[in-house]
Amino acid sequence: MFLLPDLSYEYDALGPYISSDIMELHHKKHHQAYVDKLNAALEGRSEFADWTVERLLSELSALPEELRTTVRNNAGGHYNHSLFWQWLSPNGGGQPGGELEQAIVARYGTFQEFVDNFTTQASGVFGSGWVWLQPNMDIITTPNQDSPLTTDGEAPLLGLDVWEHAYYLDYKNRRPEYIEAWWNIVNWDFVRERYEKSL
């Protein structure tokens, strides 16, 4: 059984950038729905009882064909959101510092160029999806709840949810404003930890 993870902060902790209302809806309703549907899909499938969500996504082709789409969507939703909550912090924002910032600057020239590139790709996702920073410093996007573990074979360092459910209560259809606000609450400590583990 997969479980909805607890947050390390209160729903209202990310204001004024993301409201308590949207955090509660996003976490308790949208993320919970992915968990519930994933558990329902795997109910009675004892051969997958000890599989982690990471293994399900990395070895999707090993699943029976009738399970793949449901697992791809809902394991992806669970995995992506479980990380997303950790990429947010009331004490976030600023720049990452350390070797991670050096790697970003080596690839993009300046940290601001990276921010601009990431923002452009996030703004350009058609419909629902995500934008990611990968360990090799590539910025990639995925549609729907697709995970880089499935599409790219690598766990992401950083990801931004650009589904409307992530921002519509606060920003209506103004996705660029949501993205701009999000940079103020990025948890660079967590991103650095993931980068250091990827080396």
Q: What percent of the chain has pLDDT over 90?
A: 99
Concatenate the DSSP letters of all residues of 17-85 into one string: TS-HHHHHIIIIIIIHHHHHHHHHHHTT-GGGTT--HHHHHHTGGGS-HHHHHHHHHHHHHHHHHHHHH
Q: What is the pLDDT of residues 64-99, one digit of tens each?
A: 999 999 999 999 999 999 999 999 999 999 999 999
Handedness of CA 156, 148, 81, 21 (dihedral sign): positive
Task: Determine the pLDDT at residue 46.
Answer: 93
Task: Determine the pLDDT at residue 29.
Answer: 98
Q: How far apart are alpha carbons 11 and 68 in whole angstroms?
A: 33
Task: Determine the pLDDT at residue 193.
Answer: 97
Task: Determine the pLDDT at residue 172.
Answer: 96
Task: Determine the pLDDT at residue 139.
Answer: 98
Domains and CATH numbers, the chain: 20-86 (1.10.287.990), 98-198 (3.55.40.20)
Residues (pLDDT < 50) of the chain are: none
Helix (H) or strand (E) holding 142: strand 139-143
And the tokens for 31?
């993320």
How many helical (H) and strand (E) elements, i.e. helices and strands, does the chain have? 10, 3
pTM exceeding 0.95 = yes
